[in-house]
Amino acid sequence: MRALIALALLVTAWGAVDVEARAEPAATMPAPSAANVAPDGRVPLAQIMRRFHELDSKHGWNVETLYAYPDAPEMQLKAWHTGTPGPALWVLSGIHGEEPAGPNAIARELDSLAEFARSGVPVVVIPLCNPKAYRHNWRYPNTAERDWRKGGYSVGDAEYLLPDLESGRKPRATQASGPETLALTQYVLGLARRYPPRLVLDLHEDELSTEGGYIYSQGRHADSNPAGAEIVRLLQASGIPLRRSGQTRFGETIVDGVISRDDKGGPIRDGSIDELLAATEVFVDGRTQRGPSAHTVIVVETPAFAGARLDQRIAAQAAVVRSVATLWRLNAALP
């Protein structure tokens, strides 16, 4: 789920948001046996991390450890990127631990990302931003409680780096909400200088949207974005429910499956890592500096309500990952 500020206005503040794609089977990762899957069908943490490490061991990418948990140092937040910097594709997932489709889809389509990188486009992948919560099926890294008002914090909370919503002359928060949050957002901010984001895909899920999935579109080309339209097409082709119109529970208008404006018609300002990647201006040590300024940031929201099948959600998200070459080309054609 995304909107940290909008959530504060809601009684049920722990809902999530995400999108998906085409449901073609991908053969790059063997289906796990019954003996090595979690109760909900997700690949267990140790196994999925071994899969991600194929990016460095098999494909020669760089891997960096962003954060190791003091109480479980073997459990680490990691990022991978290709060796040559430049305008890049970024793929993120697993901000919330109870949203497993995205990380599992990336694991399934890892070779698709490696193949795309061989075309010469720099790629950054942070496939599991919240490994502790993923292991426990928690939303937040520090508690099983899903209501953020009871102490949970998001690893993607970037409000301490983003201009406040009134004057824009100070950050919205005085500090990062947690140690993982600090590690992730500082890493993203630093790496964006060498790998400036041109297209960002952040894979999420939404437990509370029983009517279907949708996507958020941010960045320079938030409106009428062809990459966003293609993702919507992929999601429809996957067979999952998709919301084409109406409003989200935050009052945001859905147009052809896409949300590009907040409930007041302005740019989306949710305090998330997605807003950070799209931001043209950020605060660092109390001073403003140029932000990552991503051209396009798409947040994919898969409907994960009770009864929604994880295998279908993974297949839909995998279709998006498998289509990165097409999405990159569509985004590159924008002025």
pLDDT in tens, 212-268: 999 999 999 999 999 999 999 999 999 999 999 999 988 999 999 999 999 999 999
Q: Which of 11-20, 122-131, 169-178 comes out lowest in average pLDDT?
A: 11-20
Rounded CA-CA distance 16/37 in Å is 23
Which DSSP category does 121 fall into?
-
287: Cα separation from own chain's centroid: 27
The H helix count followed by the E strand count for the chain is 11, 10
Closest CA to 266 of 285, 280, 287, 252: 252
Return phi, psi of residue 242, to 5°.
-135, 130
Is it the case that residue 20 has pLDDT exceeding 80?
no
Q: Predicted confidence band at 37 (pLDDT cuts at 50, 70, 90)? A: low
The per-residue pLDDT for 3 is 40
Mean pLDDT across 187-202: 98
For residue 304, what are its two tokens? 């994960």
Rounded CA-CA distance 165/187 in Å is 24
Rounded CA-CA distance 286/174 in Å is 9
Tens-place pLDDT, residues 53-99: 999 999 999 999 999 999 998 899 999 999 999 999 999 999 999 99
Q: Which residues pair with 123 in a beta bridge?
A: 89
Is it the case that residue 4 has pLDDT exceeding 60?
no
Q: Which residues pair with 200 in a beta bridge?
A: 90, 297
Mean pLDDT across 1-17: 35
Is it the case that residue 17 has pLDDT exceeding 90?
no
The Cα-based distances of 8 to 35, 243, 302, 308 in angstroms read: 40, 24, 22, 27
pTM for the full model?
A: 0.89
Q: Predicted confidence band at 7 (pLDDT cuts at 50, 70, 90)? A: very low
Mean pLDDT across 324-328: 98
Q: Predicted confidence band at 1 (pLDDT cuts at 50, 70, 90)? A: very low
Per domain, the residue ranges of the chain are 4-332
CATH number of this structure's domain 4-332: 3.40.630.10
Residue 55: helix, strand or coil by DSSP?
helix
Q: Are 259 and 217 in contact (CB under 8 A)?
A: yes
Q: Which residues pair with 259 in a beta bridge?
A: 216
Burial class (CB in 10 A: 0-12, 13-18, 19+), 56: middle
The per-residue pLDDT for 23 is 30
Q: Which element (helix H / strand E) includes 314?
A: helix 310-322
